[in-house]
Chains A and B, each alone.
Chain A
Amino acid sequence: SAVISQKPSRDICQRGTSLTIQCQVDSQVTMMFWYRQQPGQSLTLIATANQGSEATYESGFVIDKFPISRPNLTFSTLTVSNMSPEDSSIYLCSARRTGGKPEAFFGQGTRLTVV
């Protein structure tokens, strides 16, 4: 299994600012994903982070609001830009290896509160 380190684990941010969340995997993985989990809700996929190219965003999520980088196979960042209280959520990084075990592994999440 892959170990995923995500930081920060939590933050309280002022509206209008941006926060960058980092995700480090302990081994090379093919697929990396970013999810949002709003309070009391299920997980919603924001985007698939592609190594060396632009992320693939799901409907309802745009690059200007959630820019994503993935400079190599073990690291990715998600930025939540121009935050509003509606962005208060848990943000989760996930990874899996194509051809490896079927399950995806998750970081411990970033609990974001926007005030």
Chain B
Amino acid sequence: AQKITQTQPGMFVQEKEAVTLDCTYDTSDPSYGLFWYKQPSSGEMIFLIYQGSYDQQNATEGRYSLNFQKARKSANLVISASQLGDSAMYFCAMREPNTGNQFYFGTGTSLTVIP
């Protein structure tokens, strides 16, 4: 079974609008971490935001916030006030510390910000 599922291959958003990128995960481990990374066309992977499974509050980092719904096993990324530089691939990832150090990545969502 897929550990991380991203169902939106491509998304478009108007500049200055907010956009939500979906991510669902599958684990039976009570302890896990959820991550979002941005990959621009240059290829580097840029860490955006982290949510721990025991965190009570949704994580926020500047214009990025993570809508964590534990019962639904979803960890959607919300980008507010989109900018042209936000156009990139976005990957959701999970790590289960009790079973190893591997990061499991989703298939990614390509975000295009329209001027």
Within 8 A of B (CB), among A1-39: 1, 31, 33
Q: How large is the interface on B (under 10, 10 to 19, 20 to 34, 35 or more residues)?
A: 20 to 34
Bound-state CA distance A106–B43 (Å) is 10
Q: Is the CB of B105 within 8 A of A43?
A: yes
CB neighbours of B106 from chain A (8 A): 42
A106 with B45: in contact, given A31-B101, A42-B108 (CB under 8 Å)?
yes
CB neighbours of B12 from chain A (8 A): none
Q: Is the CB of A103 within 8 A of B105?
A: no
- Taking the nearest CB of chain A, how far is it from the CB of B75, in angstroms? 14
Q: Is the CB of A105 within 8 A of B47?
A: yes
Select from chain A the residue with minimum beta-carbon distance to B92.
A42
A41 with B44: in contact, given A96-B101, A102-B52, A103-B35 (CB under 8 Å)?
no
Q: How large is the interface on A (under 10, 10 to 19, 20 to 34, 35 or more residues)?
A: 20 to 34
Majority secondary structure, B binding face: strand
- State whether the Cβ of B107 lies closer than 8 Å to any Cβ in chain A: yes
| Interface-centre pick from B37, B50, B95, B105 (highest chain A CB count, 10 A) | B105
Select from chain A the residue with minimum beta-carbon distance to B33.
A102
- State whether the Cβ of B103 lies closer than 8 Å to any Cβ in chain A: yes
Given A43-B103, A102-B33, 15 other A-B residues pairs in contact with their CB atoms under 8 A: A1-B47, A31-B101, A33-B103, A42-B105, A42-B108, A94-B45, A94-B103, A102-B95, A103-B35, A104-B95, A104-B103, A105-B47, A106-B47, A107-B44, A108-B42
9 closest residue pairs by CB, A with B: A106-B45, A109-B43, A108-B44, A43-B105, A103-B47, A42-B105, A42-B107, A102-B33, A31-B101
| Chain A residues in the interface with B (C-beta under 8 A) | 1, 31, 33, 41-43, 45, 48, 58, 90, 92, 94, 96, 98, 102-109, 111
Q: List 28 A-B contacts (CB under 8 A).
A: A1-B47, A33-B103, A41-B107, A43-B91, A43-B105, A45-B102, A45-B103, A48-B101, A48-B102, A92-B43, A92-B45, A96-B101, A98-B101, A102-B52, A102-B95, A103-B47, A103-B50, A104-B35, A104-B47, A104-B95, A105-B47, A106-B37, A106-B44, A106-B47, A108-B43, A108-B44, A109-B44, A109-B45
